[in-house]
Amino acid sequence: MDGTVWVVVGVVAVVMGIIIYFSMQTHKKLVSEGKIISRRTDFMENAEEFTLTAVDPARVTEAVKNMDYAAMRTGMKGSSEHQRFDFTGNGWSAQLRRLSSDGAQTVYRFSFTSWKTRNGLAQDALHMNQLMTAVEKLFVTLDPNTTVREVPLELHTKHGILS
């Protein structure tokens, strides 16, 4: 190899190092601010079911509406009547919905319904993590004794010709 190739390889290595450094700094900052939790890279492959004391659906709706969607780069559409909220991000979607409610307790389920991957990792996982953390905090704020149960998703993979 001639000198030009080594220069290009060196520049690419330096650029990759800088990108990794700044992404790690961003991750550490968001963890320290409580905006994300350090999670496994496949966290989106599990739904979370929140069981809390019976809560007025209007309180859940209000809390969902008040999340900082601009910071999470996430959109939300929902139905207060049906207690179903759909979220969209860059290449992913998620849903929060009430599963059951009786006089004593209410159960909500949060799950990612689709996401794109690159090199085996979810794209935009940072904003997915921010949304999941916000949803978890929402329920703990409504009832500090909220319990959370992880439920593995049944995944269906789409394969394209060029994937």
At 29-38, the pLDDT tens digits run 767 777 778 8
Residue-level pLDDT at 163: 46
pLDDT at res. 38:
82
Residue 147 confidence (pLDDT) = 96
Q: Residue 13 and residue 109: Cα distance in Å, rounded?
A: 42
Whether the pLDDT of residue 159 is over 90: the answer is no
SS3 assignment, position 15: helix
Q: Looking at per-residue confidence, does 18 or 149 come out higher? A: 149
Using DSSP, how many helices (H) and how many strands (E) does the chain show?
4, 8
User: What's the confidence (pLDDT) of residue 100?
Assistant: 94
What is the pLDDT, as a whole number, of residue 132? 96
Query: What are the Cα distances from residue 56, in Å, to 53, 61, 131?
Result: 10, 9, 22
pLDDT for 13-22, tens place per residue?
Answer: 777 777 666 6
Secondary structure (DSSP) of 58-121: HHHHHHHHTS-HHHHT-EEEEETTTTEEEEE-SSEEEEEEEEEE-SSEEEEEEEEEEE-EETTE
> What's this model's pTM, rounded to 2 decimal places?
0.79
Q: What is the pLDDT of residues 86-130, one digit of tens each?
A: 999 999 999 999 999 998 999 999 999 999 998 888 899 999 999
> 130: closest CA among 50, 55, 27?
27
Which pLDDT belongs to residue 32?
75
pLDDT tens digits, 43-88:
999 999 999 999 999 999 999 999 999 999 999 999 989 999 999 9
